[in-house]
Amino acid sequence: MTVAAEPDFGRTGLPYGVFSVPGRNDAPRVGAAFENGIIDLAALLGDVVFAAPTLHPFMAAGREAWTSVRSRLQAAVDQGAVTDCFVAATDAALQLPFEVADFVDFNSSLQHAANTGRILRPGDDPVRPNWLRLPVGYHGRTGTIVASGTPVTRPHGLRLDERGAVVFSPTEKLDVEAEIGFVVGRGSTMGEPIRTSAFTDHVFGAVLVLDWSARDIQAFEYVPLGPFLGKSFATTISPWVYPMDALYSARVASPVQNPAPADYLRVDGDWGFDVRLELSLNGNTISRPRFDSMYWTPPQQLAHLTANGASVRTGDLFASGTVSDTAEFGSLFELTVNGAKPLTLSDGSHRGFLADGDEVTLSGTVHTADGARHFMGMASGVVLPARPRPGVETTR
């Protein structure tokens, strides 16, 4: 849970979330963020679907309902009819906006793939041939997805120490990745893959994602099956789900894909999104990567994760993977290795990886074709020290 203290949202976005008012007896319910507060949708629209403590019933209602509600909400804002159902942001606390059903994390930035390949496999091709043929990803653990503001405890795991010995200890290379995640509203039927052209029928909105990563644990365990404990101890999402109907106004061309993707991954039109991210550490901006640089697009990701006939459910979340472009990197791993100097913060301290007490914040701005800029949201978390593990011996 987090107190609702974010920059103002305008009428273009009107993202959805779940809020409560501490000190009152009323239950958590669905609201829309607007200016410096929250519109209580159950009070405004008189629909019990918004009295639920989760976005699930509304998301499951499908595209026609999403479009209708957004139209009614914008009309109410334009007519000044939201005053009687408006809650000040400072009076509200935000919840996890939906119950995460399944979680897939992709690796969709060519720049990030190349950077990590050079770091993890020196002397080898940094980008494996399969990476250019399909959106590479892995399944995560939904129980470790938390709302913005939830502290992140430094995890334990098996890793190699400086002497090359195997030890079980807290990670010494705690990192975080800046990502955008996409939330499924309407599910699908098992055995029926989703075409890229059907993306708009299934995906409800987008959230900002902080993918916390223990790089030393990840490096030791990921061969041959990929990420596991080094990536599954915490993933933070923003409390507001930015509706796709608002994000579509920021569609731009995505990078040219070579070789041409398989038929089931081909898309028509522009499917990049002009979203500018800002990653900060203890109030210091350390990176401003652009999402429109991503090689694999969200419709391709959805098509690929159902290509074998697997179904999606309301509340499924699939994330983009680290957003890195040719000028800005979305992780400390890329910023501070391969000979780069550690980050120097405004207080004079240095960082190669995250220290206990560090606060990481990710924010996003949507840039539309008419030149407007709209706040998308924010996600943050503070690193807590590793908890003592009585009775656990170091393994060598």
Q: Are residues 49 and 153 in the same domain?
A: no
* Residue 108 shares a structural domain with residue 148: yes
Q: Give the CA angle between residues 333, 231, 303 to the nearest 5°.
A: 100
Q: Is residue 392 part of a domain?
A: no
DSSP state of 302: H
3-class secondary-structure state, position 114: helix
The active-site residue out of 56, 112, 367, 374 is 112
> Given the DSSP bridges, would you call strands 284-287 and 275-281 parallel, antiparallel or unpaired?
antiparallel
Q: How far apart are CA 318 and CA 178, in angstroms?
A: 14
Name the strand (E) or helix (H) holding 244. Answer: helix 244-247
Domain presence at residue 390: no
161-168 contacts: CB < 8 A, separation 24 or more?
Answer: 165/396, 166/220, 166/395, 166/396, 167/394, 167/395, 167/396, 168/392, 168/393, 168/394, 168/395
Does residue 229 sit in the same domain as residue 378?
yes
Q: Which of 223, 173, 211, 213 is nearest to 337 (CA)?
A: 173
pLDDT at 349: 94
Q: Which residues contact 250 (CB under 8 A, 6 or more apart)?
A: 273, 274, 275, 366, 367, 368, 369
Sign (positive/negative) of CA torsion 122, 125, 127, 131?
A: negative
Please tell me the predicted confidence (pLDDT) of residue 155: 98
pLDDT for position 92: 95
Q: Say yes or no: 37 and 136 in one domain.
A: no
Count of domains forming the chain: 2
8 Å CB contact between 176 and 210: yes
In a domain, 394, yes or no: no
Asked if the structure places residue 396 within a domain, the reply is no
What sign has the CA pseudo-torsion 342, 179, 139, 326?
A: negative
Say if 157 falls within a structural domain: yes
Percent of residues in the chain assigned helix, strand, coil, to nearest 5: 25, 30, 45
Q: Which residues, 6 or more positions from 104, have their beta carbon under 8 angstroms from its beta carbon?
A: 137, 138, 139, 140, 301, 305, 316, 317, 318, 319
Last residue of a domain, one of 77, 94, 111: 94
SS3 (DSSP) at 266 = coil
Residues 55 and 204 in one domain: no
The answer to whether residues 154 and 210 belong to one domain is yes
Verify that 88 and 186 share a domain, yes or no.
no
The CATH number of the domain where 263 resides is what?
3.90.850.10
For the entire predicted model, the pTM comes to 0.95
Is 391 contained in some domain? no
Based on the fold, state whether residues 58 and 163 are members of the same structural domain: no
DSSP 138-206: EE--GGGEEETT--EEPPEEEEE-TTS-EEEEE-S-EEEEEEEEEEE-S---TT-PPPGGGHHHHEEEE
In this structure, are 374 and 289 located in the same domain? yes
How far are the Cα atoms of 89, 171, 358 from residue 153, in angstroms, in the given order?
A: 27, 11, 11
CA distance 105 to 321: 6
Domain-terminating residue out of 45, 66, 94: 94
Q: Are residues 167 and 86 in the same domain?
A: no
What residues are paired with 175 via a beta bridge?
213
Query: Residue 394's pLDDT is what?
Result: 52
Q: Which of 42, 60, 94 is the last residue of a domain?
A: 94
Assigned domain for 59 exists: yes
Residues 284 and 332 in one domain: yes
Each residue's pLDDT, cut to its tens digit, for the chain (396 residues) gives 444 456 789 999 999 999 999 988 789 999 999 999 999 999 999 999 999 999 999 999 999 999 999 999 999 999 999 999 999 999 999 999 999 999 999 999 999 999 888 877 788 888 989 999 999 999 999 999 999 999 999 999 999 999 999 999 999 999 999 999 999 999 999 999 999 999 999 999 999 999 999 999 999 998 888 899 999 999 999 999 999 999 999 999 999 999 999 999 999 999 999 999 999 999 999 999 999 999 999 999 999 999 999 999 999 999 999 999 988 999 998 886 655 678 899 999 999 999 999 999 999 999 998 999 999 999 999 999 999 987 665 554
My answer on whether 108 and 78 are in the same domain is no
Q: Which string of DSSP letters, residue by residue, matches 311-380?
A: ---TT-EEE------SS--SBHHHHH-TTPPPEE-TTS-EESSPPTT-EEEEEEEEE-TTS-EEEEEEEE
CATH code at position 48: 2.30.30.230
- Asked whether 270 and 334 are in contact (CB, 8 A), the reply is no
Q: Please report whether residue 18 resides in a domain.
A: yes
Q: Where in the sequence is the domain holding 183, given as residue range(s)? A: 103-384
**Catalytic residue at 56?**
no
